[in-house]
Amino acid sequence: MKPIECEGCPLYDAPGPVAGSGPPDASICFVGEAPASDEIASGLPFTGGAGRVLSVLVRKAGGDRNYCWIRNSVRCQVPGNDMGSYEHAEAAIQHCSENFLIPELEESPHVKVVVPLGNSANWILTRRGKVGEGIYNFRGYPYVDPVYKFIVLPTIHPAALMRDRTMFNVVVTDLRKAFRIANEGYKRPPEEFQIPSTPFEVEAAVETLLQAKVPVTIDIENPNGQLVVLGFGIMSLCHVCAFRRRVRRPLLENRRRGGAGDCGDQSTPCVAGRARRLCNSSNTRGFG
């Protein structure tokens, strides 16, 4: 017999429900998608293959699963164990989470961090993305909502790592961050923006980065081959230097004046050449 709260859910006649596990004073909660056959048989979440992977991830991140809350966004088994193809996925997630998951989290005085595993859980907690879409655009970044007393830090579902282990260490890093926030609290990183307003200032700023020899992350916006925005993240994004300058000529056009690009005025120096040097620098860690 299912609880009265289950009435009206698209999964009312599906196998389940499977409630959560973990001690009442847990400071971190992992939220998966839905129980599969192993979980239905045991009556506990994450007891199958994905659960074994989760246990390894938590241990490598310095945690102990026995001291964590484990939940799912829905408590009953989805047809075919495939939320992405289930036509009533959003309705089921919303019904179950609003009646069970979210009230549990809001009533807990101890939970400091909630880790959605995959985009189904991330969608119901943050309303970002869509059910069935990937989690890569959101993973690893703390989400702060004034409605919640906890921080949301999504990451990749352990089941995805069973198919491809490429992101295994990335997930471990995400979980380390989650445990650190649970133990030490969350502090927003300082944001210092420098926005050079002239090509001369942009050129000088890029040259400074070349000389500084620090790790740099670069975000380039060049629609139709035109350099519109150069964004540089320095020292783990604690300091951000954003450049905004429209280039009237294609970025890669080799011209006599202006080097590899043209800032629109023959009297102004072009930053494209130095930006390219910075992109090729050994200190550059990634591109966006």
Q: What is the CA radius of gyration of the chain?
A: 24
Q: Is the C-alpha dihedral spanning 160, 166, 170, 175 positive or negative?
A: positive
DSSP for 21-89, written as a single string: BS-TT-SEEEEES---HHHHHHTSSS-SHHHHHHHHHHHHTT--GGGSEEEES-SSPPGGG-GGG-TTH
Residue 281 binned pLDDT confidence (cut-offs 50, 70, 90)? low
Mean pLDDT of all residues in 134-158:
92
> Judging by beta carbons within 10 Å of its beta carbon (0-12, 13-18, 19+), is residue 26 exposed, middle or buried?
buried
Select the more confidently predicted residue: 245 or 258: 245
Query: pLDDT tens for residues 195-250?
Result: 555 666 767 777 776 776 666 676 766 666 666 666 766 654 433 344 444 433 33
Question: For the chain, which domains are there?
Answer: 4-184 (3.40.470.10), 192-287 (3.30.720)
Greater pLDDT, 76 or 217: 76
SS3 12: coil
